[in-house]
Every structure is written in structure tokens, then in C-alpha cells.
Structure 1
Amino acid sequence: MNYIGIDLGTSSVKLVLMDTAGHIIANVSKSYPIDYPKAGWSEQNPYDWYDACMEGMKELLDGQDESTVSGISFGGQMHGLVILDKNDEVIRPAILWNDGRTTKQCEYLNEVIGRDKLSEYTANIAFAGFTAPKILWVKENEPDNFAKIDKIMLPKDYIAYRLTGVHCTDVSDASGMLLFDVKNRRWSRQMLDICGVTEAQMPRIFESSECVGTVKKDIADELGIGSEVIVAAGAGDNAAAAVGTGTVGDGHCNVSLGTSGTIFISSKEFGVDSNNALHSFAHADGKYHLMGCILSAASANGWWMDKILGTNDYAGEQSQITDDDLGNNNVYFLPYLMGERSPHNDEFARGTFTGMTMDTERKDMTQAVLEGVAFAIRDCFEVAKSLGIRVESTRMCGGGAKSELWCKIMANVLGIPVELLESEEGPAMGAAMLAMVAAGEYNCVEDASNALVKVRKTIRPDEKIIERYEDKYNKFRCIYPAMKNVFRTINE
């Protein structure tokens, strides 16, 4: 039998058709627009997501035997606020994870309600991208829309609702809302009260590999599949990517270089970083994970290549950078183009180049962008190390993982081996695996990951390059504290 994995990303939806042996039979990508109504705002139309998903599934199944499809599941961009009225119509465009309008609401939550209380209720504190501050923003700025809210959902869950008619979410995605009691895997009544919403307005909570329902007959007929096809709850994009890279169980690590960048460490036990610099979330494998998230990763490189250099020859630009250059560049880049989440939690932070001289070349700037993202990931890695977490190696996924140069930089900046996988489908593959577990093909998520995820290559760090990067990283760490007040001043 075959399974559809849907990765509802920020700029596009990626879909895979995968068999039970982990072979990718077909894949499709469909893009949709992002709106930026004001500086720092980021919105999308959920109807665009649904249309892209339906078109993508039709194209994915074109020429295939539709009768072999047994299940569908999702990975999805996290934190986005989707609000529906009593007729299940979308009230306003979804406010996305990288939207920075909630400064006032985050300050209220963190300073008035208090970080300690938030951490007690949800295991996390307020970040600008989280869902709860967005709800408060709508309540304060769009009271008429707030009054219409009948259901609050996350992006991928809106697609699950359209396919099944069930208002649902999963534990990993719910963890990023600041409305979820992560330790006990239930809605936090205290946080719902603080935001002025009720549990009846929230979707039903499922584990990621649980079946939420079957595809509605009209949708099944439109796609040419059976109405008995099950739909699993799925996971937030990073948890789904972790499943797709085998980052399940205890003490495993994955670095994702997508639009945003994450370092994801799986754990069998619940734990909280006392400074809340890392997120403490429920994992799609039924356990927990710690995660650091930087808001600009592959998107920072895309900005540099597309908008500044005006080229799509990413490989050509990187080919000029040699091993001898690694750790020997005098240019530094802060990749805070959308503000920053982990570990700084500073929506005012901005991107900067530092250290240019008259002999600085184009390739030095390109290298600095790649290194800046790696250093920002290292910032999160250092927090995990300070908690006594020992990470022996990491796997890589996301668009940036297709660059072996970037993976080599990451290996030497972190000082651990980097494993590259046979399949780089990330959240879409993880989503298909969750559907397999829901359908009974595997007993649990860990069994599915162990059976289907294969390493094709390991990049090992070089001691000489590690030493050079250790010096560079210590200098990089000085730049943000020196610029912090400047960032706030220029954004006033």
C-alpha cells in the first residue's frame, strides 16, 4: 500500500507518495503567495493552502493506482493562527509563524503574567511567532473578528479539517501555541482564560500517529481514492522532519536548514530549559523534545543569492569556497533578517555584515552567510550542552542540507559528525510514516523510523577547522550583545 505525506510549508506545499518500504514513488511541489501587509507582518490565505494541496494530490496520483492509497498525513508550518466562524469559514488571513506584530502582547505575557507562570502552564514563554500572542492581538485590534471565532486552528490542521470534517490538532503542533500543557499533553485552562477563549473553541488533541478520521466521500471522489483512506493527525514541521530523519527516541539530534533553522533533540523524558531559550515540546513519537529555532536559515542564503547577488547559481557561488577558507574568513553575518527567536527572543534583531575591508570579496560574503546561520544554530546547541545534554552526531534536512559545503561548515562549527540521508524529503516523508503507523503498518513511530530512514554519507569534522571555528564563534558571540540596543533604536 502507499501513503501520502503533505508538508505544508511557508512558501509551498510539498507532497510525496511513498510505499511501505520507504521508496518515494512520486513527489510534487505547489507554491502559494505570502502577503506582507506591513513591515514585519506575514499572512497567508488558508484557501490557497487547500487549493494547492488538492491540486498537488491530483498531480501526485496522476498515472498511479489510486486504489493503493491507504493513508494521508501532514507536517506543517507551526504557530500560524487560523480562525474559523460558526460556519467554518476563514475569518481573516492566517497570521504566520514569522510575523512580528505581537511585541506588545508578548511583553504582557512575559512581564505581567510572568515567565515563571507561562513556563509552569505550558513549559515555554511567549515568543512573537507563537499563537497565543496572536490571539491577544486579534482580541485587542480586531474585536469584531475575535467575537466571530468558533474554532482556532493551526495551518496543517485546517487541511485535515477540510479532508475529514474533524477539528483536530496533534500534540507537537499544539505545543507551539503557548496554549498547551506540554507535560500533561492537554490544553492549559489557565492560558485559555488569559487569552479569553474556551476549550470548546480549540480543536481536539491527538497523538501525531493517531487516526483522526477518513477522507470525506466528496473529497475522495474528487481525488479518485477510497473514502476509507485514513487521515492521521500529523505533526508540526520540525517534529515531522525529525520522524523523517529518524530523530526519535532518546538523545538524537536533527538540524533543519529550511526557511527557518532548527536544532531538534529528542528525549524520552519531559524537561524544560530554566531560561526558556529552547522550546520544550511534545514529540510526534509520543515522547518529548527540546528545540532551538532561528527564524532565517536557508531563507537568509536565498535572500543573499536572489535579492542581493541576483543569481540562482547557488552551487556556483559556493564552489569558490575551499576547505582552507573555512574558519579563515574575517567577515561575520548575523542572520536575523526576521528578528530572532532562539536563544535571544528579540523581534528587533536585524541582519548585519561586520568585518568587511577593502580586500573583501563576493565569496567572503557568501561564506559569511552560511557561517552566520551555523553560528546561530551553535548558539542553541550551547544551551542544550549547558543542560548536560550530550549530542554525539546530528542528521540534516531542509533545502540547505543539499549543500555539502554548508553541511561541512555545520559539522565543524558544532564539532560533531553530520549524517546525510538517502531521502531528503524531511517533513513530507515523516508525515507519510505517521500515516503508516496510524494504518497499522508499523507498531510505533520509532519502529517506522528505524526501518525506513537510511544514512548515505557521514561528514566528519576536521580538528584544524574546528579550532579555527572555535575562535570565530567566540568573536561572533560578541556581535549581538554589542548591537542589541542599536537594533531597538533603529526600529523605534
Structure 2
Amino acid sequence: MLSISESTYLGLDLSTQQLKAVVLDDKFEVIHEATVHFDNDLPEFRTHGGVIHEKTNPGVVTAPTLMWVKAVDMLIDRLTVCGVDYSKIAAISGAAQQHGSVYWNNGAENVLQNLNPSLFLHQQLACSFSVNQSPTWMDSSTSKQCKLLEDTVGGPIELAEITGSRGYERFTGTQIAKIATTRQEAYKSTERISLISSFLCSLFLGKIAPIDLVEASGMNLMDIKTKKWNQQLLDACGANLEQKLGQPVPSNTKLGTISSYYIERWNFDPKCQIIVFTGDNSASLVGIRLNKGWIAVSLGTSDTIFLWLNEPHVVLDGHVFCNPVDKDSYIGLLCFKNGSLARERIRNNCSEGSWELFNQLLDSTPRGNFGNIGLYYNVQEIIPFLCGDYRFNKAGDRIMKFTSLEVEVRALIEGQFIAKRAYAEDFGFIFDKDTKILATGGASCNKAILQVMADVFNAPVYVADVINSAAVGSAYQAKIGLLEPESTFEEIISSLPAPKLVCTPYPDAMEIYEPMVQRYRNIVATLTEERKTL
């Protein structure tokens, strides 16, 4: 019998552009990893960036479902070449790009339960999908269905109160409603509907896997308070939808042992447990070990904030999801399109493309920037709904340009974090002496930028050295799901190194930035009102 110390854990991440796997030992050290890149490794599916943009239907963005199945075949082959001992894998979990959906044909589950170990998965599942092109999170063709769902319950606020979000085009409920209406025969022949995460899980479980609660809370279909499907919304989307979706289950749920296909073909341990798969954001939060009182700020192409919430709070331009770590809490998500692209534009304009010079300019200007505030949006922002550059001096007058490059640079960075703090507070997050910030993403290596974040939030900033956080978080989930409830989440991850403290706020930070947060609110209110009158 395999001892705990000998056990390994497999984590998977099916993102937009690739399928990744990591194998961790019992001490959470990465011992093997492999990747299949869709465009490069599976060119026969003709994807670009892992998806297909329909030329005749603008806004329709899909991915070939069978491509993902074939990627699993290739990934297992590559892990074998790496020398993975499958007999030591005690548990498997995974993550996937959120909001995409997979439509299983009638009889598909029977195929999954009777796979031939001498054949590849993609050879046996080629006819198992009633819709061959899966809608993805990038699809923006369901505006009509968004309004349908909102109108069904009385409007966008009412939908957000029930499901955690107003109607979003990329959310799965609207995608299902579109297919049920425009492809009626395909919908009728659909035995089950999976999210991409539960679809991937099904391939390893050998039957249709249930949807994780965190994933279900990103569909505009589930009541986030009761954690049950809302029947009114299900009925608005399609007939017999509850039967097609199945009931969602809590994160870390043990679903059963691995399919006999993998035991016979690859020598997996027959006792290897499959733990419910989740979304990539959820797995990443486990990977970076977000806890109560912490905010995770991802500084990438777009900037994203994850907030630990005790109660769901309605924000029309944000999202509330179930919490993957604590079933009684919630996660708030705020997304800002203009992240690193805006920072790179100002860097190029002010410091000749040099981050070193950019940081020197940032550090040479005092906190508070002499009262100057700047808002910079390369593209239409989500919150606030603005585009363009807006500069304001100490007196509150809008001006065309600042007096120096230093002021421009600091106005950009301070403005970005002041906005994040304002919207986090709107979401119900309370900043106090126990608040800690966990920075991730590309800009998290820039200490000058992180110092501004510490000052604006008046909280210490930490970084966690986690690469491939979704795949690694999935492997964590595998062990957590295997050992709970005998061991707690904290006990299981206690051997991991703590996040590293990078910077702390200056003593005068609160005095400087709290008034600036209020000024920002007033500026945005004015600009938004002006936009309505145009």
C-alpha cells in the first residue's frame, strides 16, 4: 500500500491557449510538468490563440471540443516521457478557463464508462458532442440572452442579487439559452451540459462529472445564497436544463476513483481519487493561498482584484463567487481592462520604454503627487465606463497635460490603485490593521509600483513565488480533497513557505490617500454624468 509520504498529486489547467499539468510530491514540490499548446501542437484544429473567431458571425468565439480531448491524450504521453510514475498519484484535480461550456450527445456517458484502453480518447469520443464547437469566455454574441435573464427576474440588480452578477455575455447561462433557441435539435440531443472544468474532470472520472459550486456561481443560473439552481432562470434558458446540468457540488468533493481506462492503459493506482475540478481563478486563489483579511491583486494585461467577503454584496460591474476555501464565505472579483497596457504606454511616452527610468520618475515625486490625479484608459474600461485620459490638478480643474514627466508617471500609478481601493470598498471590503495585499502578475516584480499600492491601500504587500498557479493550485486541491475532513486546509498547506513581505505603507499613507479616494469618487461621478449627456 502506498504511504502518504510516497504519494504524488496531479494538477491540470486547461486554459485558453494550452493544457498544462504539474505533478507535486507530498511536500508540494514540483517534480514533473508538461504542456500542450493548442495552436502549435494541434494545428489541424486551426485555432488562433486557442480559439476560433467566426468571420461571418462577429462576436462568436468558440474552441473545438475534440481538440481539448486530443490534448489530454498528448499530455499523458508527454508526462510518460517525463518519467511520471502514475501508480504513485494518489489524487487528481484540475482547473479550466471559466464560463465555457461543453454539450454531450445522447449516449456519451455510456461511452465514457466503457472506454477501450487500447485506443486514444479522441478516437472514441469523436461523436460524443452534440455541439462540436464549445462557446468560450471570449464570446460576446449573447446580448439578447443577457437581457432575457435580467428581465426574467426583474432587472440587472435583481439578477446580481440572486446570482452574484448581472447578465454577462460570456456567462454560461446566456450561452445555453442561445443554443437552446438557435440550435434546437442539438439542444434536444444533448444528454448533459458541462463547464470546461467539469468536462475535463469527466474524462478522468469515466462519467459525467458534477459542476463545482464556485464554477456554478459564474453562470448566472445559481442562487449564491442557497447554492442551488434558480428554477426561474433555468426555465428561461432551456427545457429540462436542471437534468442536463446535474446538481453542483462543493469544492474539494471526492467524486470517486479514476476511470479504469487510465488504470489499464497507464497503470494508475485503482484507488486514485478524482477531486472535483474548478475554474482557473478559483484554483489560482488556492495556489496563492488567499485567506481571510487578504486581497489578491493580479497586475497583468488587465488588472484583477480578488476580495474575501463574509457576505455577498451587490456590485453591478463586479462579480460575487462562492469561496473555494471556506464554504461559508464568498469571493468578490473586480476586473480592470486597462492594466499593464496603460502602464506600458505611459512608460514608453515618459521613460523611453525603460522600467528603470520609469521607477526613478515614480520615486522622485512625493506621495499624493502634489494633489494631481490621473485616469488613463487605453480601451473602454469596465469600471468606470470611460475611455481616454483624464488629468486633474490640485484645484480639481481638468487639464490637458501635467507639468512634468514625474507627475504623469505617479498620476498613472496612484490613479490605478486609488480606483481599485474605491471599488473594493464599494464591494463591502473593510480595510483595517489586519488587511494584507498579495500581489501577483507581471508587475508584481516592480517594487516601486508595489510601494504605491501599499501606501494607497495602507496595508503591507506580499508576493508568493508560485508559477503556474492554476495548475499548482489544482494539485493542492487534489491533496486537500483527499485528506479533508480528517485534516484542515491550514494543516495540509502548513509546510508551504509563507508569502514574502515586499513593502509596508508609510505612516502618513492614510492621511494622504483617504481624501484622494473621495476625490476620485467625485471625479468619476462627474465624468460619468457628463458622458450620459453627450
TM range (shorter): 0.7 to 0.9
Verify: 1:445 aligned to 2:485, yes or no: no
Residue of structure 1 in register with 2:10 after alignment = 4
Q: Which moved more, 1:470-479 or 1:143-152?
A: 470-479
Q: Is the 8 A contact 2:386 2:528 kept in 1?
A: no
Instruction: Structure 2: state its 5+ residue gaps.
Output: 1-6, 39-49, 109-127, 392-399
- Change over 3 Å in CA distance of 1:164–1:299 after alignment to 2: farther
Residue 79 (structure 2) pairs with residue 43 (structure 1): no
**Aligned pair in 2 of structure 1 residues 50, 480: CA closer, same or farther (>3 Å)?**
farther
Q: What's the TM-score, normalizing by structure 1?
A: 0.80
In structure 2, how many angstroms separate the alpha carbons of the residues matched to 1:480 and 1:244?
Answer: 35
Do residues 352 (structure 1) and 388 (structure 2) align?
Answer: yes
Q: For the Cα contact (< 8 Å) 1:46–1:90, is it kept in 2?
A: no
Cα deviation for residue 419 of structure 1 reads 1.4
Q: What's the secondary structure of 2:330's corresponding residue? A: strand
Match of 1:110 among 142, 145, 150: 150
C-alpha RMSD over aligned residues: 3.9
Distance of 1:220 and 1:444 partners within structure 2: 30
Amino acid at match of 1:171: L
Give me the whole-angstrom Cα distance separating, in 2, the residues matched to 1:350 and 1:29: 38
CA distance in 1, matches of 2:414, 2:17: 24
Q: Shift of residue 435 of structure 1?
A: 0.5
Secondary structure of 1:381's counterpart equals helix
Counterparts of residues 415-454 of structure 1 (less than 5 Å): 415-440=458-483, 443-452=487-496, 454=498
How many residue pairs match? The answer is 475
Q: Does structure 1 conserve the Cα–Cα contact (< 8 Å) formed by 2:462 and 2:502? A: yes
Residues 81-480 of structure 1 aligned to structure 2 (within 5 Å): 81-86=101-106, 87=108, 88-89=128-129, 91-115=131-155, 117-119=158-160, 121-167=162-208, 168-197=210-239, 198-220=241-263, 225-248=268-291, 250-257=292-299, 260-267=302-309, 269=310, 271-276=311-316, 278-285=318-325, 286-294=327-335, 296=337, 300=341, 322-325=362-365, 328=369, 331-334=374-377, 340=382, 349=385, 351-355=387-391, 357=401, 374-385=417-428, 392-440=435-483, 443-452=487-496, 454-463=498-507, 477=521
Name the structure 1 match of 2:92: 72
| Structure-2 separation of matches of 1:365 and 1:220 | 60
Q: How far apart, CA to CA, are the structure 1 residues paired with 2:224 and 2:360?
A: 46
Deviations 1:155-188 (A, max 9, x none): 2211111222332211111111121222222222
In 1: Cα distance, 2:404 partner to 2:147 partner: 40
What is the TM-score of this pair, normalised by structure 2?
Answer: 0.74
Closer, same or farther: CA 368–96 of 1 in aligned 2, 3 Å = farther
Contact 1:255 1:394 in 2 (8 A): yes
Change (3 A) 1:58 1:25: same
Q: 5+ unaligned residues in a row in structure 1: which ranges?
A: none
Q: Quote the offset at 1:298 in angstroms.
A: 5.8
SS in 1 for 2:154: helix
Relative to structure 1, is the Cα distance of residues 193 and 440 closer, same or farther in structure 2, using a 3 angstrom cutoff?
A: same
1:428 alignment partner AA? A
| CA gap 1:195/1:71 in 2 versus in 1, 3 angstroms | same
CA distance in 2, matches of 1:471, 1:299: 26
Question: Secondary structure at 1:401's aligned position in 2?
Answer: helix
- How far is the alpha carbon of 1:74 from its aligned partner? 1.5
Q: Which residue of 23, 27, 31 maps to 1:17? A: 23
Residues 374-395 of structure 1 deviation map (CA, whole Å, 9 limit, x = unaligned): 4553343121347799861122
Any idea what the Cα deviations from partners look like across 1:341-394, whole Å, max 9, x if unmatched?
Answer: xx66xxxx4653344649886x98887776665455334312134779986112
1:298·1:400 contact (CA, 8 Å) conserved in 2? no
The farther-off stretch of 25-34 and 204-213 is 25-34
Post-superposition Cα deviations, 1:71-122, rounded to whole Å, max 9, x if no partner, equal 2112332222333332441504333334333333223333452246535643
Q: CA deviation at 1:433?
A: 1.3
Percent identity (aligned): 23
8 Å contact kept, 1:238–1:262: no
